[in-house]
């Protein structure tokens, strides 16, 4: 008989308590489902926080992983890394002319961008420094990235480097203009859909106007597509729907197909800002991650999953909008794009948490952000019957009224 392990107690004993985890221990995952050590299945509407865009165990990704594992796992940056070079070539071909710097994570991509923009500004020598960022933005948790993250709950208690940062309200162009007139920031950086800030999409008009202001003032225009990228919002990157061209783009999360990988695409203005020795990483880009990244792009772009995902997302949205209309006392209107949707609830945070746990017990896994916003980050492979099952379960829970909060797990 298999030994029963009390994973929750072990977790609390040996891991620093930086997360308020849901009480399920995962044994395996396949397609759109996770399976816990008790044998329960969960429809995965969370995808490892927007990472598993193709679902779990996609055969193309696994084949690339195995092939690369047989070839080599790690070589450092002192030699040429063919899978990574191929991935950079394809990322640039799909976005805008430029060059890539690879990292292991999103926060490291933000760090690289901070240094890159700093070098660009220093070379221009016109005193420009720092970033304009949005209120409630999230750009990572390392100390440099934390400086650009504008969520008090994430930022408080920690020192951050003295990079000048100017915080403005999303969609408020007058504030950006005022900052650009009064100060000398080097770059504007935005998430096209604010993720952990509450799933708040920026309008195309706002992004276009931001780009225009940046051009007019000689400031770089950057997008953080760490969460919105890799097809999640319906195009490979979300900025592409607004018809703008950023000077730099941050990517991570979905790009490695489940393996750690991130980076910056630096447009032509920034492509020669770094010289040898300016920045580096022992591990990044892992050849394994890069090989998986090439497989992810193949599935999205060559095998048509991007297109399929758009259709799947349109159905999900239609069903959620109907649900919200049916329960105007429980929900604000659905917001977000593609497979990155927010269902803001009018219930208190404890009731939303209890709802999340009730649905978890019924086999549906999703995130709640900003305490009361249900954040759905499903795989692009989500099937219509899975949408129906989730919406029916959510509908039934909401009909029962606000759940009484149980013991916090």
* Residue 224 near ligand PLP by CB under 6 A: yes
8 A C-beta contact, residue 287 and residue 83: yes
Q: Which of 52, 60, 105, 381 touches ligand PLP (CB under 6 A)?
A: 105
369 binds ligand PLP (CB under 6 A): no
Q: Which is nearer to ligand PLP, 353 or 375 (CB)?
A: 375
Mapped onto helix, strand or coil, the DSSP state of residue 190 is strand
Residue 138 interacting with ligand PLP (CB under 6 A) = yes
Q: Does 374 bind ligand PLP (CB under 6 A)?
A: no
H helix or E strand, kind and range, residue 352: helix 349-361
The least distance separating ligand PLP from the CB of residue 262, rounded to whole angstroms, comes to 6
Q: Which stretch binds ligand PLP (CB under 6 A): 2-10, 27-35, 99-107, 181-189?
A: 99-107
Q: Which of 346, 334, 349 is nearest to 391 (CA)?
A: 334
Give the Cα separation of 75 and 52 in Å (integer). Answer: 26
Piece of the chain touching ligand PLP by CB under 6 A; list 11-19, 31-39, 66-74, 137-145: 137-145
Q: At what angle do helices 349-361 and 384-399 cross, to 10 degrees?
A: 130
Strand positions, DSSP E, 107-247:
131-134, 165-168, 187-190, 193-194, 200-201, 220-224
The least distance separating ligand PLP from the CB of residue 252, rounded to whole angstroms, comes to 5
Q: Output the smallest distance, CB 188 to ligand PLP, in A.
A: 15
CB of 386 to ligand PLP, least distance (A): 24
Token pair recorded at residue 163: 């990079």
Is residue 24 a contact point for ligand PLP (CB under 6 A)? no
226 belongs to the binding site for ligand PLP (CB under 6 A): yes
- Decide if residue 246 touches ligand PLP (CB under 6 A): no
Region of residue 24 (left: phi > 0; alpha: psi -120 to 50; beta: else): beta
The nearer residue to ligand PLP, 32 or 105, going by C-beta atoms, is: 105
Tell me whether residue 44 or residue 108 sits nearer to ligand PLP (CB atom).
108
Residue from the set 46, 113, 150, 191 that interacts with ligand PLP by CB under 6 A: 191
CA dist 361 → 18, 40, 42, 62, 75 (Å):
23, 9, 9, 30, 44
Q: Which is nearer to ligand PLP, 252 or 351 (CB)?
A: 252
User: Is 227 or 356 the residue whose CB approaches ligand PLP more closely?
Assistant: 227
- Tell me which DSSP letter residue 334 carries: P
Rg of the chain, C-alpha, whole Å? 21
Q: Of 47, 227, 235, 289, which lies in the binding site for ligand PLP, with binding defined by CB under 6 A? A: 227
Nearest to ligand PLP of 223, 297 (CB atom): 223
Q: Exposed, middle or buried: residue 159 (CB in 10 Å: 0-12, 13-18, 19+)?
A: exposed
Strand residues in 19-129 grouped as ranges (E): 26-30, 33-36, 41-44, 98-103
Which position among 58, 128, 139, 317 is part of the footprint of ligand PLP (CB under 6 A)?
139
CB of 150 to ligand PLP, least distance (A): 12
Q: Which helix (H) or strand (E) holds 251?
A: strand 248-251
Helices 305-326, 384-399: axis angle to 10 degrees equals 20
Residue whose CB is less far from ligand PLP, 253 or 337:
253
Tokens linked to 19: 């997360």
**Which one among 55, 83, 98, 106 touches ligand PLP, defined by CB under 6 A?**
106
Residues contacting ligand PLP: total by CB under 6 A: 13
> Among candidates 80, 339, 318, 88, which has minimal Cα distance to 199?
339
55, 98, 140, 246: which one binds ligand PLP (CB under 6 A): 140
Binding site for ligand PLP (CB under 6 A): 105-107, 138-140, 191, 195, 224, 226-227, 252-253
């Amino acid at each position: 008989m298999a030994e029963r392990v009390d994973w929750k107690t072990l977790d609390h004993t040996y891991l620093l308590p930086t997360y308020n985890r849901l009480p399920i221990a995962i044994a395996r995952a396949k397609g759109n489902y996770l399976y816990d050590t008790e044998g329960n299945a969960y429809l995965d509407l969370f995808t490892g926080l927007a990472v598993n865009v193709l679902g779990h165990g996609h055969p193309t990704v696994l084949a690339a992983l195995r092939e690369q594992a047989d070839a080599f796992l790690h070589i450092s940056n002192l030699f040429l890394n063919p899978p990574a070079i191929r991935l950079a070539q394809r990322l640039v071909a799909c976005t805008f002319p430029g060059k890539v710097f690879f990292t292991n994570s999103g926060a490291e991509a933000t760090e690289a961008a901070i240094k890159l923009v700093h070098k660009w500004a220093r070379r221009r020598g016109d005193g420009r420094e720092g970033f304009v960022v949005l209120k409630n933005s999230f750009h990572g948790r390392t100390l440099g990235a934390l400086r650009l993250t504008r969520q008090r709950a994430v930022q408080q208690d920690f020192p951050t480097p003295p990079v000048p940062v100017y915080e403005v309200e999303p969609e408020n162009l007058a504030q950006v203009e005022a900052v650009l007139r009064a100060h000398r920031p080097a770059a504007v950086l935005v998430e096209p859909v604010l993720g952990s800030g509450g799933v708040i999409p920026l309008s195309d008009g706002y992004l276009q106007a931001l780009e225009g202001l940046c051009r007019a003032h000689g400031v770089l225009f950057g997008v953080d597509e760490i969460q919105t990228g890799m097809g999640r919002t319906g195009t490979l990157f979300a900025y592409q729907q607004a018809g703008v061209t950023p000077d730099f783009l941050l990517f991570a999360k979905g790009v490695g197909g489940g393996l750690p990988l991130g980076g910056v695409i630096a447009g032509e203005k920034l492509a020669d800002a770094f010289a040898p020795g300016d920045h580096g990483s022992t591990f990044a880009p892992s050849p394994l991650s890069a090989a998986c990244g090439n497989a992810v792009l193949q599935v999205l772009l060559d095998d048509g999953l991007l297109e399929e995902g758009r259709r799947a997302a349109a159905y999900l949205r239609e069903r959620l909008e109907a649900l919200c209309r049916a329960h105007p006392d429980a929900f604000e209107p659905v917001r977000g794009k593609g497979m990155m949707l927010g269902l803001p609830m009018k219930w208190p945070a404890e009731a939303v948490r209890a709802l999340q746990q009730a649905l978890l017990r019924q086999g549906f896994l999703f995130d709640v952000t900003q305490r009361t916003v249900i954040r759905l980050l499903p795989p692009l492979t989500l099937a219509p019957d899975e949408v129906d099952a989730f919406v029916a379960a959510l509908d039934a829970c909401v009909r029962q009224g606000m759940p009484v909060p149980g013991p916090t797990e």
